[in-house]
C-alpha cells in the first residue's frame, strides 16, 4: 500500500511543524485528534485537514486513517502509541521513543504481533546531509573511525512548571535534547560498550546539563553534551584516521558539512537545500517501509530495534546521573 493516510495525535508545536512538512511534501493528511474539539478544529482549519476529532480514541478509531503521528510529551508516548497500534494503525512516535527501554520493548512486541510499523520520529537521520554522511563513512573516506563529538544546547524557559523542567512531563535535557547527539553517536559508531555520564540537576529534579563519554567497538570514543540552560555551538564532528567530517550548526537540522583530510585539504563540501523543516523525509521513509512490506522497519535509517536499544543507553545515563521519573520508574520496578 502506498500513499498512507496520516492522522496527527496532539496539536502542539511539534505537531504543527510535522503537519506543515507533510503538506510541503504533498502527503495525505486526513485527520487530527486532540483532547478538545476546539483545539482539533483550530488545528484542522490551519492545515486544511478534513476531520477533527475531540479525543485520541476517536482519531485512532477513524477508518480513513492508516498511520498516526504521536506528538504528545514523552510520558504519553507509550500509552498513545499503544492505543494506535491496538486499533490497527501504523505509528510514528515523536522522540524520544518512550521514557524507558521497557516501554519501548512493549511497543516493539505489540507492533510485531500485529504486523504494523512502529517507528521513532528521529527526523534528523533522514535528512539529506545525514544520508550523505553515512555514505562517506561507508565508503571508507575517513579511514578508521576514532571519535564523534556532538552537542545539543538551547536556552529554554526556566519556569519550574514548563515541560522541560517538570519530571511529571518527562522533563530534562537528556530526553528532549540529548536524544539527538546520543542517537547520532549510535548511528555512526554503534552501541556503546561503556558509558560514563555526569549532570547538573535542577531543584525540580530534572537535568539541566548532561555530558557523556562513551567507548564503542574497535576502541572509538564519543562525547556528547546537552543543556537546556545555555546555547553552545550545536555542531558535530566525526573523526577518522584519514579525514574528518565537520557538520556546521545546527548539525541536527538541514545544514552543511565539510570532509577535511588530515593535511587540511577539503575533500568535499555539502550543503542541504530542502523545503520546510525536513520532517517529511521520515514520513516518506515510513510510507516506503509499509509499501515494501517491512513493518519491522529493518531497512530504515533507524529501525525500531535500534530505538529500543538507544532507550537502554538513556536508561543507563539516567541511572548514573540520578534522573528518575517517579511514576514511570516505580511502575517498572513493581
Which three three-digit cell numbers place residue 34? 486532540
**In 21-137, which ranges are E strands?**
28-33, 51-53, 67-70, 90-94, 118-121
**In 36-144, which ranges are E strands?**
51-53, 67-70, 90-94, 118-121
Query: Which entry of 53, 77, 89, 95 is annotated as an active-site residue?
Result: 95
* Dihedral Cα 99, 102, 106, 108, nearest 10 deg: 80
Where b means 16+ CB within 10 Å and e means fewer, 6-15 reads bbbbbbeebb
95 assigned to active site: yes
Which residues lie below 8 Å from residue 178, measured CB to CB, with a gap of 6+?
A: 152, 210, 212, 224, 226, 314, 317
3-class secondary structure, 193: strand
Q: How far apart are CA 283 and CA 28, in angstroms?
A: 11
Q: How far apart are CA 285 and CA 294, in angstroms?
A: 11
Which three three-digit cell numbers place residue 182? 546520543
For 305, the enclosing helix (H) or strand (E) is: helix 304-321
Active site (catalytic) residues: 95
Amino acid at each position: 500500500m502506498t500513499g498512507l493516510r496520516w492522522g496527527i495525535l496532539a496539536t502542539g508545536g511539534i505537531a504543527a511543524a510535522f503537519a506543515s512538512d507533510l503538506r510541503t511534501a504533498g502527503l495525505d493528511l486526513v485527520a487530527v485528534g486532540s483532547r478538545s474539539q476546539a483545539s482539533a478544529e483550530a488545528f484542522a482549519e490551519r492545515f486544511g485537514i478534513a476531520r477533527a476529532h475531540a479525543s485520541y480514541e476517536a482519531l485512532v478509531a477513524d477508518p480513513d486513517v492508516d498511520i498516526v503521528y504521536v506528538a504528545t510529551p514523552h510520558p504519553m508516548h507509550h500509552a498513545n502509541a499503544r492505543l494506535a497500534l491496538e486499533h490497527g494503525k501504523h505509528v510514528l512516535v515523536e522522540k524520544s521513543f518512550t521514557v524507558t527501554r521497557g516501554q519501548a520493548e512493549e511497543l516493539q512486541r505489540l507492533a510485531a504481533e500485529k504486523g504494523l510499523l512502529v517507528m521513532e520520529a528521529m527526523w534528523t537521520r533522514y535528512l539529506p546531509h545525514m544520508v550523505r554522511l553515512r555514505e562517506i563513512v561507508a565508503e571508507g573516506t575517513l579511514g578508521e573511525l576514532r571519535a564523534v563529538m556532538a552537542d545539543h544546547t538551547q536556552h529554554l524557559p526556566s519556569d519550574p512548571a514548563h515541560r522541560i523542567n517538570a519530571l511529571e512531563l518527562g522533563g530534562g535535557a537528556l530526553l528532549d535534547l540529548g536524544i539527538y547527539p546520543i542517537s547520532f553517536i549510535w548511528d555512526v559508531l554503534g552501541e556503546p560498550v561503556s558509558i560514563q555520564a555526569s549532570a547538573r540537576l535542577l531543584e525540580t529534579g530534572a537535568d539541566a546539563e548532561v555530558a557523556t563519554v562513551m567507548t564503542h567497538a574497535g576502541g572509538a570514543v564519543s562525547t556528547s553534551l546537552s543543556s537546556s540552560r545555555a546555547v553552545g555551538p550545536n555542531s558535530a564532528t566525526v573523526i577518522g584516521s584519514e579525514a574528518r567530517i565537520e557538520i556546521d550548526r545546527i548539525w541536527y537540522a538541514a545544514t552543511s558539512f565539510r570532509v577535511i583530510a588530515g593535511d587540511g585539504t577539503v575533500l568535499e563540501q555539502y550543503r542541504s537545500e530542502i523545503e520546510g523543516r525536513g520532517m517529511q523525509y521520515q514520513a516518506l521513509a515510513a510510507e516506503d517501509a509499509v509499501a515494501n512490506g517491512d513493518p519491522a522497519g529493518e531497512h530504515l535509517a533507524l529501525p525500531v530495534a535500534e530505538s529500543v536499544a538507544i532507550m537502554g543507553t538513556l536508561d543507563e545515563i539516567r541511572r548514573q546521573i540520578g534522573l528518575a521519573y517517579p511514576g514511570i520508574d516505580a511502575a517498572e520496578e513493581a
